[in-house]
Amino acid sequence: MSSTKIFLKSSDDKTFEIDETAARASETLKNIIDGGCLDGVIPLPNVSSNILPKVIEYCKKHGGDNGSSKKIANGGVDKDKEILPDYDEEEDKREKVRVDELKKWEEEYMDFDQQVLYDLMLAANYLHIKGLLDLTVEKAASMIRGRTPDQIRENFNINSDFTPEEEEEMILIEDEWDDEWAFD
Amino acid sequence: MGSSSSPNGEMKMADHSRWSELPNHINEMIVNRLGFPDIIRFRAVCRSWRSVYTEARRPRYHPMVLYEYNLQKGTFGFYSFEDKKVYWINVRDNYQGKHCVGSCESWLVLSSPYLRNYFLLNPFTGARVDCPYVNRPDVDVFTKVILLHSPIDPTTKQTNYYCTVVALNSFSTELNICRLGDLRWNVLKLDHEHFLGCLVCFKDKIYSLSTNGELWIISLSGPMLRATVQKVLVQINLTVGLDFQKECYLVESEENFRFVIYKLVQNLGEYKWIREYNLPDDRALFLGRLCSRIVSTTEYGGLQGNSIYFTDDKLIHKARVSEYPETGIYNIRSGSIAPCLPFNLYPFDLPHIWITPSVRNRDAIDLAEFWTHWSGTMMVEQISIN
């Protein structure tokens, strides 16, 4: 499918080009395009020029999702199997390769620090790109799991604004207990 | 925000608190992906994160036992079966309680220390919901309280006014019923003196047993919660008579005992107790005076299948000084009993309370399924074989 080009302008006045099919990965852009009020360049006052290329990269990868290759958008391989029990084996293999490739791509794509994560998360939120929002939220959650409040603050560069008394109140003491039973 | 094109790092100081300013719905999305104890740690990071609504999607707590608690000070000690760790949680001290008379998912039903009042507390989130004041001088204390719904509405994030609370008084002579937000309790007199302390809810009906083997089914209807009581005579072939004490599953707790499980089967309006010789291999039954429930062992790690986790019932043993609290894991197939807590965590003055996990994304649709997991159709009898 040939595609028209769309131009996006970042908050710091830099213009980026994106295929229409890719742009449709964003609910916000899709509405603008379908609304017909497309006037050459779409200004995005909430997205800066160091984040916008990252967003476009994601959209390019996922642009066609809502059309032919819906399976990738759905995510899991197993899910597909359940939905389509009489799945062609060859097709199944190819699908698997595609999903694996996508996972690898996501891994590389998501390799950045918390500041980019924050901006990307808000951009995904503003542009209504659900997949990207999920991805960034999951990354934030993974930076919280298994860590103490101090470690979490360090991860996200947050200063505690609790009083010492409040801190005291919220302490979650964790003790490790071995599997050593005193009697059998 | 984000107007600077400077590379990462330089803005670090200016950015320091951006994460505490995330839009609420994104914060909630993050919280929804956290389980226990991460959710507690998340709330301890900063003020704005603490205020994030954590009840929306109930966080997944794995099965834990509340083994030590000081209700007056608001401290709770949990032992987690999944990671074999002990967690201590402090809840703000204006949440003083005196006795714990109920437990439902992550909620505890507590009595106030000074007034004849009951409230619901989620020790994990600190959320508190009050029950109507008990302003009848003739009513004695509640010994068992069950909740028929979640106390917090997941969509409005406010008190769920449809949440029905059912309380049994200590003489088992009446049920007190209310919805959260009601001004007073509805009283249902039970014309039976030997009502057993067991009270379970299954598919919106409340089941209880009387000492002479009658099954009582209480249905609630209408906005006024009009209660209709149905007395059902069930064909019983129990190993021993039903002359046991408060809780129907507890007869005697001697050194050697075993459990016998009965399943309630309904066929063409007739009720029957069927003896079950095993639980499914992927199910564990948590048995307690306050809360009994069947949990999937595949969904939550660290549990033993086809087993009964039982706790000491301090109310019954008040008069007796037992050397070891009778608590443990009973393997139904082998009949063996293993301790369920490390020895040095054994409580000697407080009953264990099971805190069993909430069901993910629980809403109106899941509710039915959730209640079928409740041990509402089961009766467990603990008998002495000596």
CB contacts of B17 in chain A (<8 Å) are: 158-159
Select the residue of A146, A149, A180 nearest B45 (Cβ to Cβ). Answer: A149
CA neighbours closer than 13 Å in the CB half-sphere of residue A157: 16
The whole-chain average pLDDT of chain B stands at: 68
Which residues, numbered 251 to 290 in chain B, qualify as contacts with chain A under a Cβ-Cβ cut-off of 8 Å? none
**What pLDDT score does B13 carry?**
45
Is beta strand B257-267 parallel, antiparallel or unpaired with respect to B378-384?
A: antiparallel
pLDDT tens digits, B124-149: 777 888 898 887 776 668 888 888 88
Question: How does DSSP assign B162-219, residue by residue?
Answer: T-EEEEEETTSSEEEEEETT-SS-EEEE-S-S-B-S--EEETTEEEEEBTTSEEEEEE
What class does CATH assign to A5-64+113-170?
alpha beta
**What pLDDT score does B311 carry?**
73
Percentage of chain B lying above the pLDDT 90 cut: 1
* A49 phi/psi in degrees, rounded to 5: -75, -15
Lateral strand order in the sheet of B200-202: B200-202, B205-209, B214-221, B226-233
Alpha-carbon separation of residue A94 from A66, A73, A98, A99 (angstroms): 19, 16, 6, 9
In a domain, B9, yes or no: no
Which is more confidently placed, A138 or B284? A138
Global ipTM: 0.80
Nearest CA distance, A94 vs chain B (angstrom):
31
CB within 8 Å: A178 and B343: no
> What are the residues whose beta carbons fall under 8 Å from the beta carbon of B10, sequence distance 6 or more?
none
Nearest CA distance, B128 vs chain A (angstrom):
16
Is the per-residue pLDDT at A51 higher than 70? yes
Asked if the peptide bond before residue B347 counts as cis, ω within 30 degrees of 0, the response is: no
pLDDT tens digits, B196-230: 566 777 667 777 766 666 677 888 887 777 777 77
Residue A13 binned pLDDT confidence (cut-offs 50, 70, 90): very high
Question: Quick one: tokens of B172?
Answer: 């088992």
Report the chain A residue with the minimal C-alpha distance to residue B29.
A137
CB contacts of B46 in chain A (<8 Å) are: 153, 158-162
Select the residue of B45, B89, B343 nearest A153 (Cβ to Cβ). Answer: B45
Alpha-carbon separation of residue B133 from A23, B136, B188 (angstroms): 58, 9, 17
Domain that holds residue B280: 18-384
In a domain, B36, yes or no: yes
**What pLDDT score does B204 carry?**
73
pLDDT tens digits, B318-336: 444 444 456 778 888 887 7
**CB contact, 8 Å: A177 with chain B?**
yes
Which residues, numbered 84 to 123 in chain B, qualify as contacts with chain A under a Cβ-Cβ cut-off of 8 Å? 84-90, 92
**Contact in structure between B65 and B341 (CB atoms under 8 Å):** yes
Mean pLDDT, rounded, for B170-196 = 79
Is the per-residue pLDDT at B280 higher than 90? no
Q: State the total domains in chain B.
A: 1
CB within 8 Å: A121 and B26: yes
Its pTM surpasses 0.80: no
**What pLDDT score does B332 carry?**
80
CATH label of the domain that carries residue B35: 2.120.10
**What pLDDT score does A142 carry?**
93
Report the chain A residue with the minimal C-alpha distance to residue B38.
A145
Q: What are the beta bridge partners of residue B65?
A: B79, B354
* B276 phi/psi in degrees, rounded to 5: -105, 130
Residue B376 binned pLDDT confidence (cut-offs 50, 70, 90): very low
In a domain, B7, yes or no: no
Which is more confidently placed, A40 or B130? B130
From the centroid of its chain, how far is CA A134? Answer: 5
In a domain, B12, yes or no: no
Is beta strand B283-287 parallel, antiparallel or unpaired with respect to B293-296?
A: antiparallel
Is the per-residue pLDDT at B104 higher than 90? no
CB contacts of B22 in chain A (<8 Å) are: 118, 121
**Contact in structure between A132 and A122 (CB atoms under 8 Å):** no
Report the chain A residue with the minimal C-alpha distance to residue B126.
A170
Residue B368 binned pLDDT confidence (cut-offs 50, 70, 90): very low
CB contacts of A148 in chain B (<8 Å) are: 41
**Contact in structure between B152 and B182 (CB atoms under 8 Å):** no
Which range, A27-31, B105-109, B376-380, has the best average confidence (pLDDT)?
A27-31
- Spell out the long-range contacts of B117-122 with Cβ–Cβ below 8 A and sequence spacing 24 or more: B118/B142, B118/B145, B118/B165, B118/B167, B120/B147, B120/B151, B120/B165, B120/B180, B121/B91, B121/B95, B121/B97, B122/B55, B122/B151
In a domain, B4, yes or no: no
Which is more confidently placed, B61 or A110? A110
In a domain, B28, yes or no: yes
**CB contact, 8 Å: A73 with chain B?**
no
Residue B60 binned pLDDT confidence (cut-offs 50, 70, 90): low
In a domain, B3, yes or no: no
In a domain, B267, yes or no: yes
From the centroid of its chain, how far is CA B255? Answer: 27
Is the per-residue pLDDT at A34 higher than 90? no
Longest dimension (CA), chain B: 80
